Amino acid sequence: MAVDPKCVGAESSSFTLRYDWKTLVLYALGVGATRNELDFVYEARGPKVLPTFGVVPGYPVLSELLARSGASLDKVVHGGQSVTAHGPLPPAGELTTRGVITGVYDLKRMTQVVFKAETRLEGRLVYESEWMLIVLGEGGFDGPRPPKSPIPKIPNDAKPLFVVEERVSPEQALLYRLSGDPNPLHIDPAVAKMFGFEKGPILHGLATYGFAARALIAGAFGGDASRLGTFHGQFRKPVWPGDVLRTEGFEVEGKYALRTTSSAPDEVVALFAGEATSG
C-alpha cells in the first residue's frame, strides 16, 4: 500500500504508559548505561531519567500513525528523531501520549512521513517528540520537500570538544527491545537476512540515539542530564551489536553537534544536535 499524502493531520488515540523505577532503569541499560552511571540505574539515586526516554511512550503512537499513513511496515526505516524534555520525571507515574501526522514529503525515490507527539504526566507536558520515518521505494508524487534539518553541518577543520568511545554489547538490541520496540529485525537472524543484513540483526536506531545522548551528557554536561533540553538525531547507516561507537562533540551555531562513527566499517552512522536548557 502506498503512503497517502492526505493523511497529514490524522491524529492518534491517547495511549497510557504506567512506569516505575524499573522501567526507567531498563531503558538506561538498553542505551548502554553502566555501573559508572549510578544516577540512571540505581533507584536509591532517583533514578534520574535520561531525556531520550521520551521516545518510549511514543512507540504505540508510532505504530498507529504509520498504519494510518498507509505505509507498508516492511519498507519503513527510521530517518530521524527529536525529543524535547520539559523538566524531570518522578520515579513512578502514568504518562499519556497523543500524536498527529504533520508532514508527508517527497524524496523522489522515497517518502518521508513525519509525526509529532506530546506526552503528559498528570496534565503537565513532559515530552515533545518528532519522528521522521522513511518509506523506501515510494516517492515521485510531486509533493513538498522536507524542511531543513536542525542538525548543523560540522566544519571539516573543526576540533572536537570531547570524544566518547563505547563498545556496543552483543546483547544490546535484546535489552533495548524490552523498552517497547520488539521488531524482529533486531533479534531474528532470518528476518535480518530477509532485509539484506547478512551480518545479522542490527541495533535499533533509537538505541544509538540514546548512546549519543549519554555521550553528550558525559562530555559536555558533566553527567547532568537535566541540562539537555532537546536532542535531534539523523540516522545514516546501520549499527551492529559488538561495534565500537565513537561520538565526537562540537559546538556549531549555538548547538552541540555530534558525529557518531562505527568501527565496522569505519563510517559515519549518525549525526546529532543537542540544545542545552536555559536554566
Could you give the residue numbers annotated as active site? 181, 186, 202, 205
Residue in the block written with cell 543484513 = 197
Task: Kindly state the DSSP code that residue 240 receives in the 8-state scheme.
Answer: -
Q: Which residues contact 157 (CB under 8 A, 6 or more apart)?
A: none
List the grid coordinates of 121.
504526566
Task: Kindly state the DSSP code that residue 227 receives in the 8-state scheme.
Answer: G
Q: Which residues contact 35 (CB under 8 A, 6 or more apart)?
A: 41
CA pair distance 214, 6, nearest whole angstrom: 38
User: Using omega within 30 degrees of 0 as the cis cutoff, is the peptide bond preceding 47 cis?
Assistant: yes
User: Using omega within 30 degrees of 0 as the cis cutoff, is the peptide bond preceding 265 cis?
Assistant: yes
